[in-house]
Amino acid sequence: MDQTTMIMALVPIIIIQLALMIFALVDLVKNPSPNGPKWMWGIIIVVINILGPILYFVIGRKNY
């Protein structure tokens, strides 16, 4: 396998991670009262890979 196919193979991983992060951030901005300070959730979502957005969706959203 040559270099380009290898890099192409890695693209979906980055796309999914970015999509999760952006999804969570957009929801955080729109959320009037998240479970905890907004800036804290912002840091968690951006800094912690994969797990950050999940944590936000599971415990950060108050209605659940």
By CB under 8 A, is residue 19 in contact with other proteins?
yes
Name 55's Cβ contacts closer than 8 Å, sequence gap at least 6. Answer: 44, 48
Name 27's Cβ contacts closer than 8 Å, sequence gap at least 6. Answer: 56, 57, 61
Measured CA to CA, the distance from residue 64 to residue 46 in angstroms comes to 22
Closer by beta carbon to other proteins, 23 or else 42: 23
Binding characters for other proteins, 29-58, by CB under 8 A (x = yes) = ---------------------x--xx--xx
Residues that bind other proteins (CB under 8 A): 1, 5, 9-10, 12-13, 16-17, 19-20, 23, 27, 50, 53-54, 57-58, 61, 63-64
